[in-house]
Amino acid sequence: MTHDVLANGARIPAIGFGTYGMEREDTLRMIPAALEGGFRHIDTAQIYRNELEVGECTVLSGISRSELFITTKVWVANYPERRFAASVDESLKSFRTDYIDLLLLHWPHDGVPLADQIGLLNDTVKVGKVRHIGVSNFNRQLAAMQTLARPNSRIVNPPGLAPAWDV
């Protein structure tokens, strides 16, 4: 699987292997099979509670880190500034890597102003922990608002399979 898409400067493998709902045993069985089958994009999230297993599998795979594309999502409880950076550091530790390819805000959440959320994403890029940033599960209106909140950000908004959200 070598087809890539370009999005705001990011070269992303077009098909990613999602880990939503995978328990430890399933993750340890499925990620190696996916990598062996040619997947190079692994999609997970802090709330999925399987970042540690994803990291274990990618390291043990023997595939060069530069050939893998890891996407994870910051959970809404970690949007406050006092928790954001620490949650990203925990993800990095779980993945056993020094950078995340794509870091997303998992869901819209009004507990922290959107401009602050985007600012925290940008901070992770500035310090080299993350290569690309974006949002997940944002409808078109919210995705447009995030651009206004931080106009110099290079944001990715991956398409979802829930057209009813896209109002």
Catalytic residues: 48
CA distances 38 to 59, 66, 99, 162, Å, are 16, 15, 22, 27
CA distances 108 to 45, 80, 93, 96, 99, Å, are 15, 13, 25, 28, 24
Q: Report d(CA 12, CA 74) in Å as an integer.
A: 19
Phi, psi at residue 10, to the nearest 5°? -95, 130
Chain centroid offset of residue 23 CA: 19
